Structure 1
Amino acid sequence: MSSANAMPPAPIKTLDKDGHEITTVGFSRFGFDSEVPLDVLRSLYLRPHYVLKANEIEALPTEALNAQFTQGADYQSKSIYHPDTNSISYTTLSRFPPVKLLPPSARKRILVTGGAGFVGSHLVDRLMLLGHEVTVIDNFFTGSKTTVSHWIGHPNFEMVRHDVVEPFMIECDQIYHLACPASPPHYQFNAPGSLSVARPRCTATQKSTPQTEDYWGHVNPIGPRACYDEGKRVAETLTYGFQRQDGVDVRVARIFNTYGPRMNPYDGRVVSNFIVQALKGEDMTVYGDGTQTRSFQYIHDLVDGMIALMNSDESRPVNIGNGDEFTIGDFAKLVREIVEKVQDEDGVKRKRRVEIVYEPIPTDDPQKRRPDTTRAKESLQWQPRWTVRMGLEEMVRYYKAKMAEGSL
């Protein structure tokens, strides 16, 4: 494999907030086992996309070439990069990741709307590894087939191009409704999609972003964020309306700032902005004076929380987020430090140290956003395990590999 495209191995040990090694993600409670090995999960996203460059193939013996296409730890479709034409030759996937073998009585049929997006694809990975049958519907407005391409052809997996504002007939046990862009450039109304998805008599989760479960919120109805905020509030109202009217069993997850691999690098969110700018050697842009605060949770913690909520009896809204709070200024410095650490470990020389520059703050940007997760801890026995530093290092390595491939 070309050294330019090779990704350095992930840290041997991943430690949680209490200093304990993380070897699995998930839990076993509420009569539901969601634990999967971390190494298997990482193999689905923390790896280089290309196997070889086309001009390197002739130099390899047949046995070595075959080995490149049958590595047991890599389950995404292999591909060959042609640098002269900047093109890719995809190959057929011959082996799927190992999934749990469940008896029919334990196997659930699960629908994930927006399953090709950032959050949805990680949820799909977890549900598939757990042995369930998963159907993804996505209009690919912000999602991408590549995020779940390693499951295409698996007997437990189905992907359908569909917009949730239109009816979709399916028999299922659970619905995770994640079909709404959360990045600033892609805000859109979510209410029609929620209305359509809520009609089946299945369980659904819904995303929203208040502070505490009892906080009613303050929304500027004509501000740049208004369509997103109001769409979420209306979606919750419709969801609970169906619960009261038709007896639909619902769960509502209010999801706070989440980051991780597969985030769109140009979606305008602070984590991806900072990492991409630092990796490219560009100055990092902080909007405002940097004193506004945010809390950030890693994607694996979020998926743990959503699955725990779905399989619990908790029908009230539940905040899922990380309470560790950072000022944006301090967070920018942390990202810069981690990018420099990864670059130093990989022998990457920097022309200069990137600077942190300050620009006017956008209208309606909240000064503080931190979740109260007491209900999640008490009702779900859930709390975040990943430190921000550890999650950021994985995300930096993911983006760095994408940059080496020319896809960033």
Structure 2
Amino acid sequence: MTYRVLITGGAGYLGGMLVPRLLDAGHQVDVVDTFPNGDTVLATHCANPNFTPYKGDARNEEFMAPLVAKADVIIPLAALVGAPLCKQDPIGATSTNLDAIRMLVKLVSGDQKLLYPTTNSGYGIGEKGVECTEDTPLRPISLYGTTKTDAEKAVLDSGKGLTFRLATVFGMAPRMRIDLLVNDFTWRAVTDRAVVIFEGHFKRNYIHVRDIAKVFHHGIDNFEAMKGRPYNVGLSDANLSKLELCAEIKKQVPNFVYLEAPIGEDPDKRDYIVSNARIESTGFKPEFSLERGIAELIKGYKMLRNSRYANV
């Protein structure tokens, strides 16, 4: 069965992988984005009659209402992602990450499907050796964690949707993000051959960006059975500390050197291990291992360079 899918923030890191997957499955896809940098992430899809981009602000109810009304599925990806960015623009963070989601909850009818991505950084500091399940109390620390957690509550309390608590994402994508942990450490291994890390024992979970696209597709196909609940989405064999992550990268970049020093701290205090049993019980299985993702990044970084202010 095919649907009309509305995706806000669809030209970002996640959207650049999700949009083509849904188009390939035969769905109609409407994308709302501000396209702030004139990115051509979705340009190749303009030849597809099932793809329609809309330049606009996902916080604008007058703009969003008619688009929501004609959609079967709504996936709000638009967000200020990460604690540093939210701290830099707290008004934008609250209006985009929380207020816009509450607006969507109000606009969405009972026969539409609302799939919302949040973050498992809402677990904050976990108990040593104890897996965080979807029933574990949420203890967000930063504004980012708080706005995403409150938005998730609005979606679940409405009874109109389901939520995915995403692990730290990695992998190459059309709208690349090098600041994410696996992507960042691999970039440093490839370009600098070294990294100095802080809080090296802090553990977290990881998931490939293509598997994020896959889990949204899975959620659409199994919405009625899954609705009303949150789902952790990550690799069950990749609850790793920063030091363990560096060791995995070093297996593929042998001359990579990593050192630990007290040079900073995580504003979200992310230190937890996560159970992904609930999403796996629905039949979802990730395809991309951490090892495969690191290999992909090493290959991809041969095509990227940060040379805006350099001659080479």
- TM superposition score normalised by structure 1: 0.62
Shift of the alpha carbon at 1:158?
A: 1.0
Query: What residue in structure 1 maps to residue 251 of structure 2?
Result: 337
Alpha-carbon distance change, 317 to 301 in structure 1, aligned in 2, over 3 angstroms? same
Shift of the alpha carbon at 1:173?
A: 0.7
Alignment match of 1:237 (pick from 133, 136, 153): 153
Query: What residue in structure 1 maps to residue 14 of structure 2?
Result: 119
For residues 218-242 of structure 1, give each alpha carbon's deviation from its aligned partner in whole angstroms, at most 9, with x where no partner exists: 233xxxxx21111112112222343
Contact 1:116 1:136 in 2 (8 A): yes
Gaps of at least 5 residues in structure 2 are 87-92, 124-131
Shift of the alpha carbon at 1:403?
A: 2.9
Alignment match of 1:146 (pick from 34, 37, 40): 40
Alignment match of 1:250 (pick from 136, 161, 164): 161
Alpha-carbon distance change, 282 to 146 in structure 1, aligned in 2, over 3 angstroms? farther
1:218 is the counterpart of 2:121: no
Contact 1:251 1:310 in 2 (8 A): no
Alpha-carbon distance change, 144 to 391 in structure 1, aligned in 2, over 3 angstroms? farther
Alpha-carbon distance change, 173 to 261 in structure 1, aligned in 2, over 3 angstroms? same
1:365 and 1:357 map into 2 onto residues whose CA distance is 22
SS at match of 1:236: helix
1:274 and 1:218 map into 2 onto residues whose CA distance is 27
SS at match of 1:121: helix
- TM superposition score normalised by structure 2: 0.80
- Aligned-pair identity (%): 21
Q: Amino acid of the residue matched to residue 314 of structure 1?
A: M
1:376 is the counterpart of 2:287: no
1:178 and 1:367 map into 2 onto residues whose CA distance is 22
Shift of the alpha carbon at 1:293?
A: 1.4
1:265 and 1:219 map into 2 onto residues whose CA distance is 23
2:270 and 2:108 map into 1 onto residues whose CA distance is 39
Alignment match of 2:72 (pick from 173, 183, 195): 173
Q: Amino acid of the residue matched to residue 298 of structure 2?
A: V
Alignment match of 2:103 (pick from 175, 196, 200): 196
Alignment match of 1:323 (pick from 233, 236, 243): 236
SS at match of 1:233: helix
Gaps of at least 5 residues in structure 1 are 1-105, 221-225, 244-248, 341-352
Note the 1:7-406 alignment, pairs <5 A. 106-140=1-35, 145-167=39-61, 168=64, 169-170=66-67, 171-187=70-86, 188-189=93-94, 190-198=97-105, 199-201=107-109, 202-208=112-118, 209=120, 210=123, 211-220=132-141, 226-243=142-159, 249-262=160-173, 264-267=176-179, 269-288=180-199, 290-312=200-222, 313-315=225-227, 316-324=229-237, 325-339=239-253, 353-360=255-262, 361-366=264-269, 368-378=271-281, 380-403=282-305
1:147 and 1:337 map into 2 onto residues whose CA distance is 32
SS at match of 2:183: helix
Question: Relative to structure 2, which stretch is displaced further, 364-373 or 166-175?
Answer: 364-373
2:102 and 2:38 map into 1 onto residues whose CA distance is 24
Q: Which structure features the higher share of helix residues?
A: 2
Alpha-carbon distance change, 192 to 273 in structure 1, aligned in 2, over 3 angstroms? same
Structure 1 segments of 4 or more deviating over 6 A? 404-408
Task: Indicate the structure (1 or 2) with the bigger Cα radius of gyration.
Answer: 1
Q: Amino acid of the residue matched to residue 132 of structure 1?
A: H
SS at match of 2:53: strand
Name the count of aligned residue pairs. Answer: 277
1:303 and 1:144 map into 2 onto residues whose CA distance is 23
Contact 2:167 2:233 in 1 (8 A): yes
Q: Amino acid of the residue matched to residue 182 of structure 2?
A: V
Structure ranking higher on relative contact order (CA contacts 8 Å, 6+ apart): 2
Alpha-carbon distance change, 118 to 332 in structure 1, aligned in 2, over 3 angstroms? same
